[in-house]
Structure 1
């Protein structure tokens, strides 16, 4: 008996009905990106491994999917490393490429590679899949889409403001209630400096980034395991538990970080962003969250995360400012800031809350029933005329029983069915049936668009 086919864990097939919903999300996000002047970009699914390694921290490097070299990939492998089963050192000998982990590093590589062709500030959006060798679980996949929007070549904090406006508009259009969490890596650097562990910023951010998932006790245990002194961990506790309004948190933070120039600069940047947003009066709440760390090494300034309020799921959007990312590829002093919409998590939220407009759940608006060859030819002509007017129309291909054709229309959630028999052909009319109400009426072909809408 043949083995039943399957797909790798952490990946998914999407049926036509699911793709209609996903495309609604993509189109909504893309439409907002374009309104703010961002242009589309695509990069290859695989990058040279040296482009990816070292950009996401040690934990990120472990989650990279490596691609074996073509042909005899063991040909150049060191026999001693093979015998010792030293996978880490062997990787460089048998793998030259890897699947992209995110869209930001490939974007930085593109900017450096094509810098002479670009106009700065350079604003781009990119909607493509990424891959992470993570443990699959609810809301976390090994293959998933990101919808990124970035601007490089400008230090202005108005870019941060604009990205928050984009987040606000996207989720307003999708109907998802969210809160935008905001922090700044300079503030985190100032905190590390203040507690006497300035050289442990990465260890601190990686640990506190897990606070929501594993709790304070386990975060403290991880910090101790990384070598932070008990005194430093004790000093960190009141900072992590700061509460109150954004202004109250910032005022207290200013007192705590009074001796840290870097930390105070971060506080100032947060204040500036929040002050502009206050003037713009966006609909979505923006909350200062000092436990937000975004564990990726390349962030240097503002960092964002977006949480859905009505579904228990991780962040559905995140990003931040990166001053040094292109410098890794040889282009110094080019600052950038961007955010990434997690399309798959947004899709899961939309499904759980059933937030899709009715017209999104069907690709076909009108189906012509097939009564036979003569009638079908007449319907094909009418269908062509209606498609030319922008309607989504299909003609059932077989002259099957009416019940079967109606069942097909019902399963595809087609809103209207057109019945055209000999009488209708002679009269130049169409019997139009509303599949939701069951109502039938005789109309002319010219009246159909007004009856079903576009």
Structure 2
């Protein structure tokens, strides 16, 4: 007996209903992207390895899916290297390409490669799948979509203000009221590292701090100690672990903590600018919240850092994130091009909307009218009506197999029921002679004989 086929862990098939719901999210986000002036681009699903490697930190590099070279890929590995059995040394010899880990680094490559054709500041959006060799769990997949918007070529903080508004608009349009847009600034993290005497360990410090809500204060301190951050410095962090209150109250506390750090004070100024603008402009349903422990572990953020939390009561990781990267294109040779961008986690957003029951019923609508097939003559007569219905915006179809000697009628009705088709049309000899159609409401069981124009009105 043949073995039942399967798919890799961390990937999924999507049935028609799920695809319709995903497309609803896609179209909502896309609409808002374009409302804010972003233009679409697409990049390949895989890049050259040297484009991706070293851009996400050590942890990110481990999660990049590598693609084996074509042909005899082991031919370039000499016997001594092969005998070492060191995958880190062998991989560059047998793999020159990798699946993209996110959309931001490929976008930076795109900007550098096409810089002479781009009008700066360049506002782009991109909605494509990415891949990460992560451990699959709820809301975390190995293949998933990102929906990104970025601006490059401007260091204006008004871009950050607009991204807060964009988040608010998208989640309001999706019915996700009560989301929290958490914000921090990398300069503040650098300032804190400076104050505690750990400037040379900024990445280790931020990676550990970013785990505070996952592993707790004591475990974070243990991880910092394991990275050779001095105990005296960790002790100075204590006010940070208990920082709470309003945005303005936290800012005032930070001014005391970072009074000796020019970098830290610059970060505070940037956060105050964004917060003051949002307070003036207002948000529809989201809340802007300062979170000084927010320290997304990616190496390229230099200014504002964003992370969006689902509404309270929904157990889910972040459903969006992003930040300012002042010189990301510099890694590809184009210096001094500032950028800022955000991302929407489609798959997690889907799970949150599903859990809260916020998907509109109409988005899963497919066929509205099914014509029962009584025979070839009746089928041809029905297809003329179906063509007219489709031209008038009604989703209609003909059951392909005809009824033979009274059989298959029940099968066709069951087909309509299982697909939740609200109406069926019966066309027999009598209907053909009178050019009428018997419309049956599958919910009530009522039947009505109508001409074509009345049929359209009844269905609509």
Same fold (TM over 0.5): yes
Structure-1 separation of matches of 2:193 and 2:434: 82
Structure-2 separation of matches of 1:183 and 1:214: 20
Cα distance 1:386–1:205, how it changes in 2: closer, same or farther (>3 A)? Answer: same
For 1:216, the equivalent position in structure 2 comes to 217
1:324 counterpart = 2:327? yes
Cα distance 1:291–1:434, how it changes in 2: closer, same or farther (>3 A)? Answer: farther
For 1:187, the equivalent position in structure 2 comes to 188
**Paired residues, what number?**
453
1:17 counterpart = 2:24? no
For 2:254, the equivalent position in structure 1 comes to 253
For 1:92, the equivalent position in structure 2 comes to 92
| CA RMSD, 1 decimal | 1.5
TM-score, with structure 1 as normaliser: 0.96
Cα distance 1:173–1:425, how it changes in 2: closer, same or farther (>3 A)? Answer: farther
Within 5 A, what are the aligned runs for 1:78-89? 78-89=78-89
Within 5 A, what are the aligned runs for 1:119-138? 119-138=119-138
For 2:146, the equivalent position in structure 1 comes to 146
Aligned partner of residue 276 in structure 1, secondary structure: helix
Long gaps (5+) in structure 2: none
For 1:33, the equivalent position in structure 2 comes to 33
Aligned partner of residue 74 in structure 1, secondary structure: helix
Aligned partner of residue 294 in structure 1, secondary structure: coil
For 2:438, the equivalent position in structure 1 comes to 431
Structure-2 separation of matches of 1:437 and 1:160: 53
Within 5 A, what are the aligned runs for 1:348-387? 348-387=351-390
Cα distance 1:173–1:420, how it changes in 2: closer, same or farther (>3 A)? Answer: farther
Structure-2 separation of matches of 1:403 and 1:311: 43
Structure-2 separation of matches of 1:9 and 1:297: 28
Cα distance 1:322–1:447, how it changes in 2: closer, same or farther (>3 A)? Answer: farther
Alpha-carbon distance, 1:14 to partner: 1.0
Structure-2 separation of matches of 1:122 and 1:21: 30
Cα distance 1:421–1:44, how it changes in 2: closer, same or farther (>3 A)? Answer: same
For 2:345, the equivalent position in structure 1 comes to 342
For 1:308, the equivalent position in structure 2 comes to 310
Bigger Cα displacement from structure 2, 111-120 vs 353-362: 353-362
TM-score, with structure 2 as normaliser: 0.95
Cα distance 1:82–1:31, how it changes in 2: closer, same or farther (>3 A)? Answer: same
Structure-2 separation of matches of 1:413 and 1:35: 35
For 1:231, the equivalent position in structure 2 comes to 232
Within 5 A, what are the aligned runs for 1:260-275? 260-275=261-276
Bigger Cα displacement from structure 2, 172-181 vs 412-421: 412-421
Aligned partner of residue 136 in structure 1, secondary structure: coil
For 1:57, the equivalent position in structure 2 comes to 57
Cα distance 1:370–1:25, how it changes in 2: closer, same or farther (>3 A)? Answer: same
Pick aligned residue for 1:404 from 403, 411, 414: 411
Q: Deviations over 1:283-333 (max 9, x none)?
A: 211111111111100011111111112420100111111111100001111
Aligned partner of residue 71 in structure 2, secondary structure: coil
Q: Deviations over 1:88-140 (max 9, x none)?
A: 11111111110000000000000000000011111111111111111111111
Aligned partner of residue 96 in structure 2, secondary structure: strand
Aligned partner of residue 144 in structure 1, secondary structure: strand
Cα distance 1:439–1:220, how it changes in 2: closer, same or farther (>3 A)? Answer: farther
Long gaps (5+) in structure 1: none
Alpha-carbon distance, 1:451 to partner: 3.4
Q: Which runs of 4+ in 1 moved over 4 A?
A: none
Structure-1 separation of matches of 2:269 and 2:456: 56
